[in-house]
């Protein structure tokens, strides 16, 4: 956790004018999310929902209607990307800074392209090669980016909470591009968009997330968005790679720090009748921490392969946020097979990030 950073789950940095329209309390928001998970929130998928947020830090307090606004806006952005000359001046005059303290291929490249398609100026700053190498503190880097006139900063940081600190201490908008093991909201939005494009309404759909859930910001953000959209989320992995607080550790749902999901340690059972399976990268560094007996054993029990996919619904989708360890968490055959939508996820990432930039900087639906 970054020093002085507010707790990601507790802190809400948006001033009153940027809170959700109904100014929901945390308690009401949780109740509302559960209603969505039960599939009774469809009336709130209203086209009248307006965008009220200043930052995109996490999806833990997003309603189904707000997610739908992003996904519908993404449809409009896909149309722009399909043109012969995919360029529009929607964000002309705006300055976007990507500030990455961790490696990235997909997130960074797609944000850069998204900004350029919308006509913004995009500046890329990496910790490696920047004044961070000379010892500059995160707060000083944030102030520097503010001083050069950034309208939005897209921040990836190894510490959970860093984007909350940036949002609190600056005047620009902040998009969390991944903070430690906490959240990766644009990844979850592009996953939701990809699933919705293929499956339609996600209410009642069974989505299995398998792998290193405990250390995965992608899994955590997906839990919030998919349950908000009414999907049945099943988490699967060895007990050492599942977060505490799921299914019983905190029996009172209000005390849980994660949305209601099902946990199943046996992938052959979890995958039965699944509409989609999302494999997560096995982080090799976990093995040295004694959390896994061996990669071979892990692959034997948890690899998403053809035999296991045969137990899912016919035509079930395979997702992976990338980067992939082929032959470990997913077989090469499945990663590149007919059910895989991995490349579609990457392509949709550009349109989703265009939508997020547009909504944050223009504050309206196109």
Minimum distance of ligand CP from residue 266's CB (angstroms): 27
Output phi, psi for 73, to 5 deg: -65, -35
Cβ nearer to ligand CP, comparing 8 with 230 = 8
Query: CB-wise, 90 or 304, nearer to ligand CP?
Result: 304
Nearer to ligand CP, 95 or 110 (CB): 110
Candidate ranges 88-96, 144-152, 245-253, 320-328; the one touching ligand CP (CB under 6 A): 320-328
Tokens representing 138?
């995160």
Q: Return the closest-CA partner of residue 349 out of 185, 123, 204.
A: 185
The pattern of x and - marking residues 86 through 125 that bind ligand CP according to CB under 6 A reads ------------------xxxxx-----------------
**Which is closer to ligand CP, CB of 293 or CB of 323?**
323
Q: How far is the CB of 105 from ligand CP (least distance, A)?
A: 4
**Which residues ranging from 144 to 183 are in contact with ligand CP (CB under 6 A)?**
178
> What backbone phi and psi angles, to 5 degrees, belong to 157?
-145, 150
- 322 near ligand CP, judged by CB under 6 A: yes
- Number of residues near ligand CP (by CB under 6 A): 11
For residues 34 and 286, which CB has a smaller minimum distance to ligand CP in the complex? 286
Q: For residue 96, report the phi and psi dihedrals to the nearest 5 degrees.
A: -110, 130
Alpha helices for 19-94 (secondary structure H): 26-37, 64-81
Q: How far is the CB of 186 from ligand CP (least distance, A)?
A: 9
- Determine contact, residues 56/185, Cβ cutoff 8 Å: yes
Q: How far apart are CA 215 and CA 292, in angstroms?
A: 13
Our finding on whether 222 is near ligand CP (CB under 6 A) is: no
Longest dimension (CA), the chain: 55
3-class state of residue 234 by DSSP: strand
Q: Which is nearer to ligand CP, 65 or 328 (CB)?
A: 328
Alpha carbons within 13 A on the beta-carbon side of 131 = 10
> Do residues 257 and 9 touch, judged by C-beta distance below 8 A?
yes
Among 187, 194, 325, 340, contact with ligand CP (rule: CB under 6 A) = 187
* Sole residue written with tokens 């052959």: 268
Length of the chain: 366
CB of 281 to ligand CP, least distance (A): 9
- CB nearer to ligand CP: give 136 or 326: 326
Q: Are 231 and 207 in contact (CB under 8 A)?
A: yes
> Of residues 248-307, which lie at the interface with ligand CP (CB under 6 A)?
none
Give residues in contact with ligand CP (CB under 6 A). 104-108, 178, 184, 187, 321-323
């Amino acid at each position: 956790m970054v020093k002085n950073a507010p707790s990601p789950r507790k802190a809400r940095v948006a001033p009153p004018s940027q809170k959700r329209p109904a100014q929901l309390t945390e308690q009401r928001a949780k109740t509302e999310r559960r209603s969505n998970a039960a599939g009774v929130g469809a009336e709130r998928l209203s086209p009248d929902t307006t965008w009220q947020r200043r930052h995109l830090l996490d999806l833990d307090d997003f309603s189904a209607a707000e997610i739908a606004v992003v996904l519908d806006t993404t449809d409009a952005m896909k149309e722009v990307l399909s043109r012969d000359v995919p360029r529009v001046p929607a964000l002309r005059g705006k300055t976007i800074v990507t500030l990455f303290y961790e490696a990235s291929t997909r997130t960074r490249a797609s944000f850069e392209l998204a900004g350029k398609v919308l006509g913004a100026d995009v500046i890329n700053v990496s910790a490696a090669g920047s004044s961070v190498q000379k010892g500059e503190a995160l707060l000083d880097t944030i102030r520097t980016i503010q001083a050069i006139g950034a309208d939005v900063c897209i921040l990836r940081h190894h510490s959970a909470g860093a984007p909350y600190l940036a949002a609190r201490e600056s005047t620009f908008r902040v998009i969390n591009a991944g903070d430690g093991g906490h959240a990766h909201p644009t990844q979850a939005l592009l996953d939701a968009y990809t699933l919705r494009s293929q499956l339609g309404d996600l209410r009642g759909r069974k989505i299995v997330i398998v792998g290193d859930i405990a250390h995965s910001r992608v899994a955590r953000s997906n839990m919030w968005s998919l349950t908000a959209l009414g999907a049945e989320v099943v988490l699967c992995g060895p007990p050492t790679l599942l977060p505490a607080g799921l299914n019983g550790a905190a029996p009172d749902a209000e005390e849980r720090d994660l949305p209601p999901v099902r946990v199943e340690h046996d992938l052959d059972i979890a995958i039965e009748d699944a509409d989609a399976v999302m494999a997560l990268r096995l982080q090799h560094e976990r093995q040295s921490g004694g959390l896994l007996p061996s990669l071979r054993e892990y692959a034997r029990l948890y690899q998403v392969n053809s035999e296991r996919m045969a137990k899912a619904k016919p035509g079930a989708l395979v997702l992976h946020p990338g980067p992939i360890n082929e032959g470990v968490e997913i077989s090469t055959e499945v990663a590149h097979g007919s059910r895989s939508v991995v490349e579609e996820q990457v392509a949709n990432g550009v349109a989703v990030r265009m939508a997020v930039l547009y909504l944050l900087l223009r504050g309206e639906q196109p």
